[in-house]
Structure 1
Amino acid sequence: MLTAVINNLVFVAEFLGIVFATFVVAFIFEKIANDRSGYIGPVITTQKIAMIGIFGAISTILMMFEFPLPFAPTFYKLDFSELPVMIVTFAFGPVAGVLTEFVKILLKVMFKSTSTAFVGELANFCVGASLILPSSIIYIFNKTRKGALIGSIAGTITMTVFGSVFNAVYLLPKFAQLFGMDLSSIIGMGSTVNPAVSNIQTFALMIVAPMNLLKGTLVSILTIVLYKKFSPVLKNGNAFREVNMAK
């Protein structure tokens, strides 16, 4: 029992370390973009904090609505919680995006706890960050519709590749360890829905990759379609930042 508690505490510490590292990467790129544009104000403003809270709450609500996928075991479901995160990321930059992603996870744990010993929450944060970071980093250096499109494609590809590798190398083995399961049991769940799944590599390739590709594509399309509808509200009081996805 004590070993399980220690393992879980170590995992939570690793989780927070990953969140911090992601924030640092986002901060560095946003600072470079601000320096190039001549903006000398703070990276985090009162308006951004408000929007991070609002969109983080919306993302948490969307996270509760999950849709099963015919090609994946029941513990993998599709949700659209990254959509509000992407919208606020394009409006306010990668730092706001990472913080919104974290607020989403924090609120979810507060209101619904965790059923996966935080493994599912870490997966959601890391895979979500692998979508929003490349998308927003490309966009802050090219704030046009074309830049948003290129960024979204790059983010979707990154999420697909990273999510697959991260699941195979770290998340699924960690899930099995924390729950005292054999990894072959998880692989067996995958082979039940897809007979081509025979090991952890084929599990990631046949199940995780298609799921992340589908999610990234849908979220990216919806973000580009919906952003213009939200931009007047988002840009209100944000005169220092010129966001133009209509070019």
Structure 2
Amino acid sequence: MVNQTTQNTSETGKGNKTGKGFKTTTIAKISILASAAAVLMLFEIPLFFAPGFYKLDFSEVAVLLGAFSMGPAAGIVIEAVKILVNFVIDGSVTAGVGELANFLIGCSFVVPATVIYKRNKTRKNAILGLAAGTAVMVVFSAFMNLYVLLPVYAKAFNMPIDAIVEMGTKVNSAITDIHAFILFATVPFNVVKGAASSLITVLIYKKLSPLLHR
């Protein structure tokens, strides 16, 4: 009886350690991936068809890796921490409005992709989820840029919306007004961003999966 009680107590202790260890491990992985995403945000690539303030980075890859391995909630946390760290490093010219919009746009990409992938964890479903996430992000970012981001940037830099449109016109003559700006700059930018992030994620996720699931 004593031995059995001792054994049960020992097993319970192990269970508590496992539970605590899992939680600690998850927090550690979220922290590492969020830090990696914040660093990746610092390396930006300009695109020839968009004005200079539209620059491509691959920070969403780190967010997707975390979301695919730990779930959409973890992806949202990584996205939030990434934005906060970048805010601390670079500051904000939009009083946080731009950062909030970028957080929501990132979530509009990561969450649908992860929800679809989690239903059936296959390569095909990952590609399907990433394609769906890209589509949602493209539509959502178009509305966010039209009604939130571009007006806020214009106000922050004390310039009319037409001045932003002119920046687009310089690189693409088809951009003649704000709606054309969204169609020929914002939309293709986010298509490229989603496609590039998706491709890299598909190529490296399985290779990193054993490490991500420790």
| Counterpart-to-counterpart distance in 2, 1:220 and 1:192 | 30
Q: Tell me the SS of whatever aligns to 1:102.
A: helix
- Distance in structure 2 (CA, Å) of the matches to 1:223 and 1:97: 14
SS of alignment partner, residue 45 of structure 1: helix
The correspondence for 2:170, drawn from 186, 192, 209, is 192
8 Å contact from structure 1 (residues 149, 224) kept in 2? yes
Residue 107 of structure 1 corresponds to which residue in structure 2?
A: 85
Partner of 1:69: 47
1:115 is displaced (CA, Å) by: 4.0
Mean Cα deviation higher: 121-130 or 161-170: 121-130
- Where do residues 178-217 of structure 1 align in structure 2 (5 Å cutoff)? 178-217=156-195
Partner residue of 1:48?
26
- 1:103 deviates by 0.6
CA distance in 1, matches of 2:143, 2:88: 29
Match of 2:68 among 90, 113, 129: 90
Paired amino acid for 1:100: I
Q: Given that residues 59 and 104 in structure 1 are in contact (C-alpha distance below 8 angstroms), is that contact kept between their aligned partners in structure 2? A: yes
The reply on whether 1:155 has 2:138 as its aligned counterpart is: no
Unaligned ranges ≥5, structure 2: 1-18
Call closer, same or farther: CA 1:119–1:195 in 2, change over 3 Å: farther
CA displacement 1:13-52 (0-9 Å, x = unmatched) = xxxxxxxxxxxxxxxxxxxxxxxxxxxx9xx933222111
Aligned length: 195
Q: 1:87, 1:234 → 2: CA distance?
A: 8
Larger Rg: 2
Instruction: Provide the rounded CA distance (Å) in 1 between the counterparts of 2:50 and 2:95.
Output: 20
Q: If the length of structure 2 is used for normalisation, what is the TM-score? A: 0.85
Distance 1:45 1:150 in 2: 30
Question: Which sections of structure 1, spanning at least 5 residues, go unmatched?
Answer: 1-40, 237-247
Instruction: Give the partner amino acid of 1:94.
Output: P
Q: What SS class does the counterpart of residue 151 from structure 2 fall into?
A: helix
Deviation at 1:144, TM superposition (A): 1.7
- Deviation string 1:112-160 (CA, Å, 9 cap, x unpaired) is 2224443442343222111101101111222222221110010111111
Distance 1:85 1:185 in 2: 34
Whether contact under 8 Å (1:71, 1:207) holds in the other structure is: yes
Give 1 or 2: higher helix fraction. 2
Cα distance between partner residues in 2 of 1:92 and 1:78: 25
CA distance, structure 2, for counterparts of residue 134 and residue 209 of structure 1: 18
RMSD value over aligned CA atoms? 1.8
Name the TM-score, length of structure 1 as normaliser: 0.74
Contact 2:67–2:74 (8 Å) recurs in 1: yes
Structure 1 residue 71 displacement after superposition? 0.7
Alpha-carbon offset, residue 54 of structure 1: 0.4
- 2:212 counterpart of 1:234: yes
Checking the alignment, whether the CA contact within 8 Å between 2:93 and 2:156 is kept in structure 1 is: no
Q: Bigger CA drift: 227-236 or 119-128?
A: 119-128
Q: 120, 126, 129: which is aligned to 2:107? A: 129
Tell me which of 150, 156, 171 is aligned to 1:172.
150
Matched residue of 1:74: which SS? Answer: coil
**CA–CA distance in 2 between the matches of 1:194 and 1:123?**
25
The 3-state SS of whatever aligns with 1:203 is helix
Question: Conserved in 2, the CA contact under 8 Å of 1:119 and 1:175?
Answer: no
Q: 1:81 aligns to what?
A: 59
Corresponding residue number in structure 1 for 2:11: none
1:146 to 75, 100, 124: 124
Residues 94, 152 of structure 2: 8 Å contact kept: no
